[in-house]
Each structure stands twice: as structure tokens, then as C-alpha cells.
Structure 1
Amino acid sequence: MGQSNINLAALIGSRICHDLISPIGAINNGLELLGMSNGQTGPELDLISESVGNASARIRFFRIAYGAASAQPLGRAEVVSILSDSMDGGRLKAVYGPLDPQPRWAVRMAFLAVQCLETALPYGGRIEIACTDGTWDITGHSAKQSVDSSLWGLLKGEGVNELAPAHVQFALLPEVAADAQRKISTQLLPDRLTIRF
């Protein structure tokens, strides 16, 4: 996959997220109007509202991870909000360290790394995202891990015979890193997994 293909895939990702966020927002607005107009509440509306909130959060996350990236800065509050909303109610918690705005391309790489760690931490845990002097460390902490060596090999440039859609982040992150002239390194320890770029 060359640079032009990465850019095309990112534009497609941006387009899909952009087109989906509007109807999901409209559904959420409709639910709020239903609640205000006749005071309807109940488990059915709560379930719909929760599902819409989860879908909106994931689309915001995907828009950064799979959408077009640039040097445009993303503020801490926005990144923390996206991470918090997308992991709300899940087994994983993410802690975002950088205090200053960071370039969108770097946050994109961090989000792809977060997804790689999510795959390896199915029992839950804590993901810490740090950036020191331009070097990013995304570390997952958990006593229980499920590391697929062939997927993690992709991050080091090794090939894989077949890739499931749920694991596309493992193939995309090295390509995005190469475009950004960054090298990925990993550290796999019994209690923590780190992706550095």
C-alpha cells in the first residue's frame, strides 16, 4: 500500500465518518425532543440513547484513527473527550498525557496504537498515552493479555497470510508511520505492552 493509497483510504474513512455522524446526531436530537415533549422515559429509550451515544463516540474515534490526517493541532480536551466517550462502560480505561495540542497525524497514530492494545487486552486494563520530546509511548497495563504474535509482527514489518477486518490497525499503523517518517518499536512484557514511535 503506497502513500497515495493510504491517503485515498483516509479520505474514504473521513467521508464515511462525516456522512454517518449527521444522522446519528439527528437520532440523538430526536430522542431528546421525545423526552422533552411528553416526558417519555423507559428502558427502551435508555437503550436507544446509550447505543446512539456509543455509535457517536466510536465514529469520532474512527474519524481520527482512519480519517485524513494533517499537522492541524488537536487540543487535549478534545482528545480526552473522544477517548473517554469511546471507552465509556468498557473494561479498558485510557489516560492521555500530553498537555499541549498535538498534530492530528500523531494523535491518529496514537489512536491506531490504542486499537492494537485493545486487541491484546480483551480482559481489560489501563492504556497510558505519553509523548516526551516528540516520542510517543502507548502502553497497555494488564495482568492478562492475549498477544497474537503474527499481528504484532506486522508492526515490525513482518508479513501475515490473512488479516481480519478487526485487525486492520496492525497493518495500517506501520504504513502511516512510514509516511510520517517514524519507526515503530514494541515491547511485550508479562504485565505491560508498549508501542513506541
Structure 2
Amino acid sequence: MNSQTDLAALLCSRLCHDLLSPVGALSNGLELLADEQDPEMRERCVELLEASAKISTDKLKFFRLAFGAAGGFGENVPVEEAQQVIGALAGDGKKIDIHWAMAETSLPKPAIKVLLNLAQIALDALVRGGRLDIGAERRDGNVEIVARATGSRVAFDEVIGRALEGDLGASELTSRTAAAHMIALLAEEMGGGLQYRLTDEALVLGAVIPEPEGMIG
């Protein structure tokens, strides 16, 4: 298989899958608005459109930073950008409390990609809500990242864990595992690594990402 081409295709599939619902809701809302004459119902249609547009925008912002080149930023991305994106995703119908422990105001783009993807994996694991703790700091030329999900039910497919650790067979690469596989490749290319630990109470995801050359001050 052409791993780079297949990975790109699977990431595109993931993006399309995640956007299908809110974009479909936009389309349905517009159809209802065109046919509806009752003022109260039209107001509800507008509210549906506004909510769907916000969800679509939030998801696109996530994909831009987590998968894309994050154009418009320099070599470092403000941590606030990542916080806003994760906060928006967590607020999308989930009861999740987010606690940040960020020692930096900005991080290199590769570290932001890893942080966002680990946070998304942790969010997906909190199927009944819960708490998400996210931390990052620079130490000895590395960026150390941790995301910890705790809740009444933590659901985690260990195939994703194997993808994070770079131990995924080619046949197991799917749109569900593509993001984890991508950041595992990114960490390996930079000389770092990812790891995870799953217990009955929590899912802990960690990463060590070396600073790009020329950025270690």
C-alpha cells in the first residue's frame, strides 16, 4: 500500500464523516425555512441553522490545526487556539469539564497537532461525560504533553492505543485509527514518542515531542 496516500485518504474520510451531520442539518434547516410560514417555527429553524453552522466551524478549526498546515500562524501556535477548539468540541452536547495545566503560551505546530489529537481521543472516550485534564510544558528541549480522561465510563478501543504506539498493521489502518497513526508517525519522525495507559477509572495519553531545530532557546 502507499501509506502516505492511504493515510491522506483516511483522514479525508474522517473529516467528511465528522462534518456530514452538521452540514446535513444545515441543508435540512434551509429546506424547512424555505417552506415554513409560522414565525415561531421559522425562529426555531434559524436557531438550528446557527447551531449547525457553529458546530461545522468548530470542527473545521479543529481539522485545520490537528491535521492541516495551520496556515496563518508562524512556527508556534498560541495555546489559546487549541484551548478554544477543544472547549468548543467538548461543549458539543457532552457534559465534560476541561482543566488545563499549560506552562506555555505557545507551542510548536507539531506539538499542537499531537495535543489536539490526544485531546480528541480522550474526549471520544468519555461517552457519558466526565473530566478531561490537559497539560503541556517545555522541558530539556522537549514538549511533554498529557491528556487524562476520567468518568463513569471510559470507552477506549485499544487498536487506537496500538496505533499511538506505532504498532498497527497496515490492514488495521482505518478512518478511526488514522489520526492516532498520523501523530505516531509525526512523533517518530521528530525523535519522540507516544504512550497510553488504560484503567477502570481513567485513560491517560502522553507524548514527548522534541522541539524543532532552531527553536530551542
Offset at residue 194 of structure 1 (A): 1.1
Matched, 1:110 2:120: no
Q: Distance in 2 between matches of 1:80 and 1:150?
A: 27
Q: Distance in 2 between matches of 1:118 and 1:152?
A: 14
1:166 is matched with which residue? Answer: 176
Matched, 1:145 2:163: no
2:82 is matched with which residue? Answer: 79
Cα distance, 1:188–1:71 mapped onto 2, change above 3 Å: farther
Structure 2 unaligned runs (5+)?
31-38, 208-217
Offset at residue 115 of structure 1 (A): 2.1
User: Residue type matched to 1:44 in 2?
Assistant: C
Offset at residue 104 of structure 1 (A): 1.7
Q: Does the CA-based 8 Å contact 1:143-1:190 persist in structure 2? A: no
Q: Distance in 1 between matches of 2:186 and 2:98?
A: 22
2:191 is matched with which residue? Answer: 181
Q: Distance in 2 between matches of 1:2 and 1:111?
A: 26
Q: Distance in 2 between matches of 1:157 and 1:147?
A: 17
What is the aligned counterpart of 1:195 among 205, 209, 215? 205
Q: Distance in 1 between matches of 2:88 and 2:165?
A: 30
Matched, 1:88 2:91: yes
User: Residue type matched to 1:58 in 2?
Assistant: K
Q: Distance in 1 between matches of 2:165 and 2:174?
A: 18
Q: Does the CA-based 8 Å contact 2:148-2:204 persist in structure 1? A: yes
Number of equivalenced pairs: 175
Q: Does the CA-based 8 Å contact 1:115-1:169 persist in structure 2? A: no
The structure carrying a bigger strand percent of its residues is 2
Offset at residue 144 of structure 1 (A): 0.8
Task: Give the secondary-structure state (helix, strand or coil) at the position aligned to 2:193.
Answer: coil
Offset at residue 127 of structure 1 (A): 1.7
Question: Which TM-score applies when normalising by structure 2?
Answer: 0.67
Q: Percent identity?
A: 20
Cα distance, 1:64–1:157 mapped onto 2, change above 3 Å: same
Matched, 1:131 2:140: no
Offset at residue 108 of structure 1 (A): 0.6
Q: Distance in 2 between matches of 1:144 and 1:192?
A: 9
User: Residue type matched to 1:187 in 2?
Assistant: R
The structure carrying a bigger helix percent of its residues is 1
Structure 1 unaligned runs (5+)?
32-38
Q: Does the CA-based 8 Å contact 2:86-2:120 persist in structure 1? A: no
Question: Aligned Cα RMSD in Å?
Answer: 3.3
The equivalences for 1:43-54 within 5 A come to 43-54=44-55
Cα distance, 1:176–1:75 mapped onto 2, change above 3 Å: same
Q: Deviations 1:151-176 (Å, cap 9, x if unpaired)?
A: 21222222244344233222222112
Cα distance, 1:162–1:179 mapped onto 2, change above 3 Å: same
Q: Does the CA-based 8 Å contact 2:133-2:149 persist in structure 1? A: yes
Task: Give the secondary-structure state (helix, strand or coil) at the position aligned to 2:105.
Answer: coil
Matched, 1:155 2:164: yes
Q: Distance in 2 between matches of 1:151 and 1:126?
A: 20
The equivalences for 1:51-66 within 5 A come to 51-66=52-67
